[in-house]
C-alpha cells in the first residue's frame, strides 16, 4: 500500500531501520513522482543556533533577577528533565541480533512519566533510559502509533522537575522556539529557531494525516525524535517528530506535534487504555485539473476513491472504488499518470455538509469523529449527487483512512 500511496499523491513518512540507528525526526518521503507539494509559503529559514538561547528559560526555574545571569542555570534545569531513550528489539541488549533505536523523552509529571514518540519505542522488548547521570529501565505504558505519542515510565527521583506544558496557542509565525534532544547520541543538544508555520497537515505512509503540526526551522537531526520544542517562556509547545528533507539530516524544515494533542489524550495514554481512531476505509487521490481532464471528471477538486477496504465502513455503506485500481502500482512519471484508471470511482466532495477538496481535509474531519459515529458523505457517481451515510469503524493496524 505504501508504494501505491506515494504514486497517487501521499507524502509518506519513511521509517528506515538499520541494525543500530538514531531515531530521526522521521523523514517525509518526497520520492513519489506525484507527491503532494507543500504550500508556497513554506520557506527554509537559516537556523540561528546559539543566538537566541538567552531568551529561553524553563517556567519552573527561578526567575531572572536584575544584575544576575541565570540563563545557563535555567537551560540546565530544562536539560535535567530530558532523557535519552534506547529502545532494544530483536533480542537482549547484549545479544548480537539486538537492534537499538535511540531517541529522546522528557519528564511530564512526578510519577516518572516520560513523553516521547511512539516510533521511538516501536516494538521494543527493552527500553533503557539515561539522564541526570543515571540509568533506568523504562516501561512503555502506552503508545499511540497514529498520533505518534508514547509514555515511558521510569523510577525517577522526586527531585526532578517535570517540564511545564504550554500550548500551541502561544505561538505564531516568527515566534522563537528551542529544541532539545539527543541527535547523533550527543546528549542534551540545544538548537533554536523560529516557527515557520502552524496548523500544517502531514500524511503518513499508512494514510493517516497528522493535523495541526508546528513547522520550525530549528535544526532537527537523528535522535531528536520525542524531544521537546519549547517556547520563549520555557514551556513545552510541541514534540519533535518530522523533518522534510530529500537527504538524511536537517535542512531547516522540521515538524513537531502540538503539545495540545497530548493534553487531549493524556488520560488514555497515562492509563494505558488503547486509543480508538475513527476509520472510513478508503484509498483515494486528490483531484486536480490534470486528473479531471484525463478521466473526464465533473469536478476539479475533491477525493477520487480508488479503492475501498473489503468489509470496511465505506464498503458496507456502498462506496465504490475505481475498477482498475489494481493497476495503480504501474503508474509512472508519464504525461498522463492516470492512464491506468477507469474513471468510475466515487468522488467525495463533502462530509456532514462541509465541502471536501482533498484527502487531507477529509481525514482531518474523520479524525475529529469517534468510532461508531455516523457521517454523511456527499458523493458524485455517474452524474448524480448521492448522500451516503457511513458508520465509522475503529482504525485497524496497517489500514488506510
| pLDDT in the model for residue 341 | 87
Q: What is the pLDDT of residues 219-232, one digit of tens each?
A: 887 778 899 999 98
- Which residue has better confidence, 91 or 269? 269
Q: What is the mean pLDDT of residues 70-75?
A: 51
170: nearest Cα among 104, 242, 109, 229: 229
Q: What is the pLDDT of residues 36-57, one digit of tens each?
A: 222 233 333 323 333 333 333 3
Contacts of 268 (CB under 8 A, 6+ apart): 142, 144, 274, 275
Cell numbers for 381? 457517481
Tell me the backbone φ, ψ of residue 37, rounded to 5 degrees: -80, 160
| pLDDT in the model for residue 115 | 97
**Which of the residues are catalytic?**
119, 148, 225
Buried residues in 13-31 as b, exposed as e (16+ CB within 10 A): beeeeeeeebbbbbbbbbe
For 278-394, CATH gives: 2.30.42.10
CATH topology of domain 1-274: Thrombin, subunit H (2.40.10)
Q: What is the mean pLDDT of residues 361-369?
A: 88
Per 3-state DSSP, what percentage of the chain is helix, strand, and coil (rounded to 5)? 15, 35, 50
| pLDDT in the model for residue 199 | 87
Domain boundaries along the sequence of the chain: 1-274, 278-394
Amino acid at each position: 500500500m505504501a508504494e501505491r500511496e506515494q504514486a497517487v499523491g501521499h507524502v509518506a513518512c519513511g521509517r528506515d531501520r538499520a541494525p543500530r540507528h538514531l531515531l530521526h525526526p522521521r523523514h517525509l518521503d518526497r520520492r513519489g513522482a506525484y507527491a503532494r507539494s507543500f504550500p508556497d509559503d513554506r520557506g527554509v529559514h537559516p537556523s540561528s543556533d546559539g543566538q537566541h538561547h538567552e531568551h529561553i528559560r524553563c517556567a519552573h526555574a527561578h526567575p531572572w533577577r536584575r544584575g544576575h545571569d541565570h540563563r545557563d542555570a535555567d537551560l540546565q534545569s530544562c536539560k535535567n528533565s530530558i532523557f535519552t531513550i534506547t529502545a532494544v528489539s530483536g533480542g537482549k541488549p547484549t545479544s548480537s541480533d539486538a537492534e537499538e533505536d535511540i531517541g529522546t523523552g522528557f519528564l511530564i509529571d512526578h510519577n516518572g512519566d516520560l513523553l516521547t514518540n511512539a516510533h521511538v519505542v516501536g516494538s521494543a522488548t527493552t527500553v533503557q533510559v539515561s539522564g541526570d547521570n543515571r540509568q533506568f529501565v523504562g516501561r512503555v505504558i502506552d503508545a499511540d502509533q497514529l498520533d505518534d505519542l508514547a509514555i515511558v515510565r521510569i523510577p525517577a527521583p522526586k527531585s526532578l522537575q517535570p517540564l511545564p506544558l504550554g500550548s500551541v496557542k502561544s505561538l505564531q509565525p516568527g515566534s522563537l522556539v528551542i529544541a532539545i534532544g539527543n541527535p547523533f547520541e550527543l546528549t542534551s543538544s540545544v538548537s533554536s529557531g523560529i516557527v515557520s508555520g502552524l496548523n500544517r497537515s502531514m500524511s503518513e505512509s499508512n494514510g493517516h494525516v497528522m493535523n495541526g503540526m508546528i513547522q520550525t526551522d530549528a535544526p532537527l537531526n537523528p535522535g531528536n525524535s520525542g524531544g521537546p520544542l519549547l517556547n520563549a517562556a520555557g514551556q513545552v509547545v510541541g514534540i519533535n517528530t518530522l523533518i522534510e528533507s530529500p537527504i538524511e539530516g536537517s535542512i531547516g524544515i522540521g515538524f513537531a506535534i502540538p503539545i495540545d494533542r497530548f493534553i487531549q489524550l493524556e488520560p488514555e495514554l497515562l492509563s494505558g487504555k488503547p486509543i480508538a481512531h475513527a476509520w472510513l476505509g478508503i484509498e483515494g487521490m486528490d483531484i486536480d485539473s490534470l486528473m479531471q481532464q484525463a478521466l473526464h471528471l465533473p469536478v476539479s477538486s475533491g477525493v477520487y476513491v480508488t479503492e475501498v477496504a473489503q468489509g470496511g465502513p465505506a464498503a458496507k455503506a456502498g462506496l465504490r472504488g475505481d475498477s482498475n485500481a489494481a493497476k495503480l502500482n504501474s503508474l509512472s512519471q508519464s504525461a498522463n499518470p492516470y492512464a491506468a484508471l477507469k474513471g468510475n470511482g466515487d468522488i467525495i466532495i463533502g462530509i456532514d455538509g462541509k465541502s471536501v477538496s482533498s484527502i487531507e481535509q477529509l481525514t482531518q474531519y474523520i479524525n475529529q469523529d469517534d468510532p461508531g459515529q455516523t457521517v454523511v458523505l456527499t458523493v458524485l457517481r455517474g452524474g448524480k449527487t448521492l448522500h451516503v451515510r457511513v458508520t465509522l469503524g475503529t482504525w485497524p493496524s496497517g489500514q488506510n483512512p
